[in-house]
Structures are given as C-alpha cells and as structure tokens.
Chain A
Amino acid sequence: MGGSPLTSRTERADERPRTPARKRGRGKYKLTLILLPGVAWLFIFYLIPTLVMFRYSLLSNMPHIAPPTFTLSNYLDAFCTTLYAKVFLRTARFSTSVTAMLLLSCFPLAYYLAKKARHQKEILILLMIPFWTSQVLRAFAWIILLSRSGMVNVLLGRLHLIEEPLRLLYNWRAVTMGLFYSYIPYMILPLYAAIGRVDDALLEASTDLGANSWQTLWNVTIPLSLPGIVSGAALVFVASFTDVLSPTLLGGPSNEMISSVIFNTFTMGSNWPLGSALSFILLAALLLAAALIMVISSRVRYET
C-alpha cells in the first residue's frame, strides 16, 4: 500500500498522451490549431526557399538578365573545377583540425571543471561570458591583437623572441585560431555534461583495482563520456564547416573556405546559379553529416 502512489505516478508519466476518449475529436482540431503556425512557417520560409535555391542552381544564367534555360552545367562546374574541389578539401581540413584541437584542449578543462574544481558553476559562467558577444566583434578583437604593431607582436618583440613583427593575420593560422576560439563553448558544454554524469564510484573502483590515473582515464572516463565527445565534435565540425566570418575577416585569399566562396559569389560576383549549386552541395553535405552523426550518437548511447 505504501509504495503504490509512487509506482502509479511513474506509470502515469510513461503513458503521457492522456486525452480522454470523448475529447479525441476535439483534440484533433486543437492539434491542427497548435501545430499550424510552426508547420506553415517551416513550409513557406524553409522548404520552399530550399526548393527555390535548387531551381536556381539548375538555371543557365541570372533570370534578371535573359530568360534562362535549365542545365546541369553549374553542378558540372562545381564538381569538375579543381578550384572548388580544393576549397572543399581545405574546408574539411580546417574543420577536422579545429575539431581535434578543441577536443584535446577542452577535455582536460571539462574534466577539471566537472570532477575537481571547487567553483565549477562560477568558472563555467565565466567561460561562457565572452561568447555572448557577437562573433563579428570577437573577430575584430583578434585583428587588433594580431596586427603588425598589435599587442602580441609588440610583447614578443619586447621579450626578444622575435626580431621583426610576425605576419600573424590573413593566413591559415589566423583562420584556424578564429575557428578554434569561436567554437570553444560547443565543445566544453557537451564534454562537461558528459563527464559530470560519469559515476565517481566507478573511477574509485578503477583505482582500487590498481589502475593508475592514465589507465583510469583511458579505460573508464573516456569510454563513459563518449556521448559528450561525439556530440561536441559533431557540433564543432558542422559549425566550423559552414563558418563565414573567420575566413573572410582573418584569412587571406588563399584560405577561402566553402562558405566564404559562396559568400563572395553572392556579394562580389554575380553568378547566382553557380553560387546556388555550391550551396546546394554544401546543404547536401551538411544533411549527410547530420544523419551520420545521429546514427553514430545513437550507437554510442546504446553501448554505454
């Protein structure tokens, strides 16, 4: 008798949709009303624009200039020109290296915050504050810091580490740094959440059984925080793959990434159909990546 209220409550939470049978007809009507704004919005402003972009990518020229015909030449251009292949490869290289760097540098930090630090919450909030400012402003700040007579160069010169100012901006290092800095929270938050969920008793058990701290880290902590690692890496990879601001503001002409190429096609150039084809390819790549990530993360979750 004593335990029954508790069990009945949990059971009720499981069979959530409790619409009484007599109201089911009205429920359907209500459901339509509730879902209509969101669904309509998504159809009009998301699905249709995507189709419009697809149609654009099949046009032979801009419709403002002359009546266009349908063609696949934009896709042929995008796939067969070495320039775009190079840009895609470079983008993949940038995002992979940034993901790896963030994973390696944020894991110790997240581990310390979740398991060791005394003022976890305060430090975490402190860590997040810079990322509530605009990404444009952060890029601006890095330009000031890294310029020829900026703080980094002057301080390095004072310490007699360098003879003359280094060229820190407008190269691949600056782009990588910009991407690294921008997506720190995307890595730290999932890692912190996952590591925090690892049971301390398991870590103690591992130590009691004679494992040293590296063995515990490798065999217990990392496998158990795998969901966080996967979702952090996925977020960073996808976000940095489509980043526009770092390559446009911190990179030079030889560090273009796919999104900055698309960006330039629409701002400076006027070949909208080719730009549409490129963004449609990027869209396909993104959706593929998202599907892959979903599959991987569901696997990871079942194993642990």
Chain B
Amino acid sequence: MKHREAKKVVNSRQRFRQYIPDLNDLAHKLYVGCFLLFIFAPIVVTVLYAFNSSRYFVWPIQGFSLEWFRQAWHNRLLIEAFANSVIIALATTALCTAIGTLMSFGLVRFRFRGRGFLNILVLLPVVTYGIVSSISLLLFFDMVHIQRGIGATILGHTTFLFPFAVIIINGRLTNFDTSLEEAAMDLGARPVRVFFDITLPLIMPAIVAGALLVFTLSFDDFILSFFLIGNTNTLPVYIFGLIRYFMTPAVNAAATALIGITMIFVILISFFFREIRTIWVGV
C-alpha cells in the first residue's frame, strides 16, 4: 500500500518535471559552451589578426587585408623554418615508427631477463621529456662534437618520441588475438608471411596512430629543437624568437595556415579512421 503511494508521488514528480526545462542539463550545457569559448578564444584571435590591416595587435580589428599572408610567404626565414620543421618531423616519424614497432614487438611478444627493467627504461624519456633532457643532449652533443643542426635535432626528437610510439603499439599488441597467427601457421604460412599478411595489417592502426602522434609532437616541439637546432630554426623556435623580440601579424598568417591544415587533418582522421581515433583520444 505504502509502496504504491510512494510510487505515485514519484510518478507525479516525473510528470511535473517534463514541463519545466531541465536546469541541471541546461547548466551543464552552458558550462561546456563557456569552456569551448575559452578554449577556442586564442585560436579565433590568432586567425582574426592574420586578416587585420593594422600591424598593431589592438582591439578592435581595423580592416581586412591579406598583406600578412603575402609577407609570411615572402619571409625567407619563416619558410626555411617551416621546411626544417617538416623535414625533422618526417625523419623523426620514420625512425620512431621503425624503432618503436620493433621494440614493442620485443617487449610484448618475448619473455626474457631484464624485460621489466626495459619496460621502465622505455618510459623514462616520456617522464623527463622537456628541459632536463634537452640540456643533457646539448651537453652530450657538445662533448662528442656532433654539430648542432637538423641532424642533431632529428636524433634528439627520436630519442624522446619513439617511446610514445612504443606505448601506443604496446596497447594494441597486448590485446592481440594470437589465435589468428596460429591459424595462419597451421595452414602452412611461414613466419615472415604470417607477419606481413596477418600481424602487420592488424596492428597497422596503432602504428599509424603512433606515427601521427610522433609527427605532431615533433612538429610542435620547442624545447629540444631550441637547444639542438643551432644556427638555423624550426617553426616553433622561430616564432618564439619573434614573440620575444619582434611581434608581427605575419606570424598570425603562418599560424592560420597551420591551424587550417591541422584542423582538416584532425577532423578527417577522427571521422574516417575510427580505429585510430579510438587509440588516439579514447572515443
């Protein structure tokens, strides 16, 4: 009896709730909206000033102009820095993917003495990535007389970024269903064939996701490049110099181009390669 009455009360409450807006949900939505606004404010402002006709960063925007894109395009140092960044990122990605895939295979598929130690050793560069590692590499290269420059930067980036590839590929390999490989072997395939026909295609999403992550991290890296690049520049290092000594909207123009490319890239990948997205952002 009592139970039924209680149920009635709950029901009437629920019925009542339909008619008033869900304040809780509304507050949540408002909060998410504000957060997105906060997160996108810097991007929007960067893009706006790229099209500004004044060279001063004063609000409001003065007028529309493409002058800064022209200047960015004709800025030899900027283009050189961009080219260097691309070269370094590509080389680093190639090296990291090769080393990372091999290492991950060794760590997941084999049991050997020192495996636990190696698992931790691989994680250390991720923990100390930043100023400490840049300093140690700077001193090391100085000691063994390796000239600072693009080559040294590639070596440095690879050291600290291939562990990221290992972590991502490890995730995939650990959940790997080995019965597929066994089936292939039972059907008479040789180990090399099994690797290329079964294993590689199945872990490919992880390899690609790792490569993309390494590429972005390498392209955006400031601190390692700053100490290792020597006389020339990478894009973040060049922009850092400009921010400190000479702010110009040409930076905004270059940044706008980059943001555009990145956005298209990320959106395409997120929507078309579900598996990569799963590994990447966990959704």
Contact = CB atoms under 8 A, between A and B. Distances in A.
Given A112-B31, A149-B59, A286-B128, A12 B266 contact: no
B9 interface: no
Contact of B122 (A38, A124, A134, A153): A38
A42 B103 CA distance: 11
B242 to A, nearest CB: 8
B139 interface: yes
Contacts of A37: 98-99, 102-103
Given A45-B137, A150-B59, A263 B118 contact: no
A183 B283 CA distance: 19
Interface stretch (B11-19, B64-72, B196-204, B251-259): B251-259
A39 B42 CA distance: 41
Contacts of B223: 244
B138 interface: yes
Contact of A39 (B38, B118, B258): B118
Contacts, number: 246
A52 B106 contact: no
Contact of B32 (A117, A143, A263, A290): A117
B275 to A, nearest CB: 14
Nearest to A125: B270
Which among B56, B130, B247 has the highest number of chain A CB atoms within 10 Å? B130
Contacts of B162: 38, 41
A42 B159 contact: yes
A121 to B, nearest CB: 5
B36 to A, nearest CB: 7
Contacts of B38: 181
B281 interface: yes
Given A27-B110, A109-B31, A133-B43, A46 B159 contact: yes
Contacts of B42: 130, 138, 141-142, 145, 181
Contacts of B128: 283, 286-287
B235 interface: yes
B111 interface: yes
Interface in B93-131: 98-100, 102-103, 105-112, 118, 121-122, 124-125, 127-128, 130-131
Contacts of A12: 178-179, 182
Contact of A52 (B40, B127, B139): B139
B136 interface: yes
Contacts of B110: 17, 19, 27, 31, 34
Contacts of A282: 131-132
A34 B127 contact: no
Contact of A136 (B102, B156, B236, B263): B236
Interface string B1-34: 0000000000000000000000001001001100
B260 to A, nearest CB: 11
Interface in B164-194: 166, 177-179, 182
A107 B197 CA distance: 44
Contacts of A295: none
Contacts of A279: 131-132, 135-136
Nearest to B221: A134
Interface string A254-282: 00000100110010000010011001101
A31 B112 contact: yes
B60 interface: yes
B103 A192 contact: no
Contact of A242 (B107, B130, B136, B247): B130
A193 interface: yes
A18 B270 CA distance: 35
A132 B262 contact: yes
A153 B58 CA distance: 10
A78 interface: no
A108 B28 CA distance: 8
B87 interface: no
B179 A136 contact: no
B220 A134 contact: yes
Interface in A1-47: 9, 12-13, 16-19, 27-28, 31, 34-35, 37-39, 41-42, 45-46
A50 B136 contact: yes
A56 to B, nearest CB: 5
12 contacts: A13-B177, A37-B98, A37-B103, A39-B103, A41-B162, A121-B283, A133-B258, A140-B239, A143-B247, A189-B282, A266-B227, A286-B132
Interface of B: 25, 28, 31-32, 35-36, 38-43, 45-46, 49, 56-60, 98-100, 102-103, 105-112, 118, 121-122, 124-125, 127-128, 130-133, 135-140, 143, 155-156, 158-159, 162, 166, 177-179, 182, 216, 219-220, 222-223, 227, 235-236, 239-240, 243-244, 247, 251, 255, 258-259, 262-263, 265-267, 270, 277, 281-283
Given A140-B243, A280-B132, 17 more contacts: A9-B177, A13-B178, A16-B109, A19-B110, A34-B105, A45-B140, A121-B270, A124-B283, A130-B43, A134-B235, A135-B222, A137-B236, A149-B56, A238-B127, A243-B130, A266-B138, A272-B139
Give the top 3 A-B pairs by smallest Cβ distance, nearest first: A141-B42, A38-B103, A49-B140
